[in-house]
Structure 1
Amino acid sequence: MAKKFDRPKHKQESLINKAKKSIKVDHNDFISFSFKYFDEHHKKFHLNEKELDYFLILLNRLKDISTFKLQDFYSNRGKTLRCHPIDWDDTTEECFNLKNEEQLVETPYQFGLSANEYGRVHGFLIDSTFFIRWFDPDHKLYSKD
């Protein structure tokens, strides 16, 4: 008769989470951007009919943030950048709707393009890379319209 073995009763940690823990994040690394998880087809978060000014502001903001060290990004609460975590309970969405999101996204973040006029960028950090999920030029993440 084959010998039975007891399966562990705790949930096994995912390989992604194990890999994240094994990498040491250097808070002196500069922020970089990735569009790997960018969703250009979301019904609310699109750039249709945006003027050239919007794109110039967007590119300049991404360029400016790429000069930030990770620690500077986390600690910047200035009026124009307004970088902070997203609390899904305060939004119109429940999550980024990504496959394996619970393993990829530790904390969803957003930052502003200007004081209020050009909206925000939503995404998440892995190490010092900010993965852009949505551009929100019309502030629709917090608007119930």
Structure 2
Amino acid sequence: MHKPNKKSSQLSIPKASAPQQKGNGQHGSLLSVHQQKEISKFREEKVMFSYYFLDTAHEAFNCGGGIGVNWFLQLFDNLREISKLNRNEFVVQQRNHYDVHSHDFENTAYHYADRLPEGYFEQLSEDQCLQFRLSSSGGRVHGFMIENTFYVLWLDPHHNMYPDQRFGGLQFFNAPLTPYQELQIELEEWKKKHADLASLLDELTAPGA
């Protein structure tokens, strides 16, 4: 039986090379030119939004309570404007305008770990779990940011993440109905009216009536 050559079967791990020195004796960057270009490109990329983890079934963040179309218009106006910014502009330069900051989960009414799939929250750092406001009293958007993508988790028009008596404290509402559900309810109402009228007609046309 042929025995494998030990030398050929061993993995060869390349030795790490020291950063190249510049002409003045200073060390250059640890990153390659390609890596530096990729990072520079990333810094210029605009903020994007993902709704993969959006949770509208949560009792505190289902957007119930008759918040109305105007709130959603305000939401989309803000998302549009934020999409024109890169990460640094959004998180740092516009911090005061959007009040972008991480969560203090010891003082929140709810925790991301309760809703994200098991093992996901542990992969997030504290400065990745962010919130931003739509206006001083217009509620907030909660999620987490990886690179330049903001993953929306909860829409919070009632400030339920940090309940405040100025905004009515912790508030719960039934989730708003979809257009299909509204039509179903309307259809059932018409069916009942039809059945009542049919019953009345039978009474009026019955023999001896």
Q: TM-score range by the shorter chain?
A: 0.7 to 0.9
Q: Secondary structure at the match of 2:144?
A: strand
The number of aligned residues is 121
Residue equivalent to 1:118: 138
Residue equivalent to 1:35: 51
- Aligned with residue 149 of structure 2, among 126, 129, 135: 129
Larger CA Rg, structure 1 vs 2 = 2
Larger RCO, structures 1/2 (Cα 8 Å, 6+ apart): 1
CA RMSD of aligned residues (A): 1.9
Identity %: 29
Residue 77 (str. 1) matches residue 95 (str. 2):
yes
Which has a greater percent of strand? 1
Residue equivalent to 1:12: none
Residue equivalent to 2:76: 59
1:104 CA displacement: 4.5
Residue equivalent to 1:109: 130
1:87 CA displacement: 1.4
Which has a greater percent of helix? 2
1:138 CA displacement: 0.6
In structure 1, C-alpha distance between the alignment counterparts of 2:129 and 2:148, rounded to whole Å: 14
| AA in 2 matched with 1:77 | R
In structure 2, C-alpha distance between the alignment counterparts of 1:36 and 1:103, rounded to whole Å: 18
Deviations 1:91-139 (A, max 9, x none): 111324211223553321000001x221000001111110000000010
- Aligned with residue 159 of structure 2, among 112, 131, 139: 139
- Give the 4+ runs in structure 1 shifted more than 4 A: none
In structure 2, C-alpha distance between the alignment counterparts of 1:141 and 1:29, rounded to whole Å: 30
TM-score, structure 2 as length reference: 0.54
